[in-house]
C-alpha cells in the first residue's frame, strides 16, 4: 500500500508539538494498516483512530486514491477523544 502525504500533513510532521510523539510516515502507515477503529467523516473522507501512548490517540484523515492512500491530516488528542 502506497501512502502519500499532503503538504499539510508533511508540514505537520515537522512541528515541535508533534515531534515529541515521534510520529513518522512509517508510523502513520502502521496506524492505517491496523487501526483501533475506522469511520467516515461528515465530509466523506475516511478516518482511523489508534493509540500512540497510554494517554494519547492519533486520528488520521485520509482518502483512497488510484495509487494508494492520501493522508490529508492527522490529529493527536487525549485518549478516547475520538471513539
Structure confidence by residue, pLDDT tens digits, 53-76:
999 999 999 999 999 999 999 999
Whether the pLDDT of residue 78 is over 90: the answer is no
Note the pLDDT of residue 75.
Answer: 93
Average pLDDT (22-43) is: 93
Position 83 pLDDT exceeds 70? no
What does CATH list as the number for 3-78? 3.30.2310
Beta carbons of 63 and 72 less than 8 angstroms apart: yes
Q: Does 14 have pLDDT greater than 80?
A: yes
Domain ranges of the chain: 3-78
User: By 3-state DSSP, what share of the chain in percent is helix, strand and coil, each rounded to 5?
Assistant: 25, 40, 35
Amino acid at each position: 500500500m502506497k501512502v502519500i502525504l499532503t503538504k499539510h500533513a508533511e508540514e505537520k510532521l515537522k512541528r515541535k508539538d508533534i515531534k515529541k510523539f515521534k510520529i513518522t510516515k512509517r508510523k502513520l502507515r502502521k496506524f492505517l494498516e491496523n487501526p483501533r477503529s475506522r469511520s467516515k467523516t461528515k465530509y466523506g473522507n475516511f478516518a482511523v483512530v489508534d493509540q500512540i501512548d497510554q494517554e494519547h490517540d492519533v486520528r488520521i484523515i485520509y482518502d483512497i486514491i488510484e495509487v494508494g492512500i492520501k493522508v490529508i491530516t492527522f490529529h493527536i488528542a487525549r485518549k478516547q477523544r475520538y471513539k
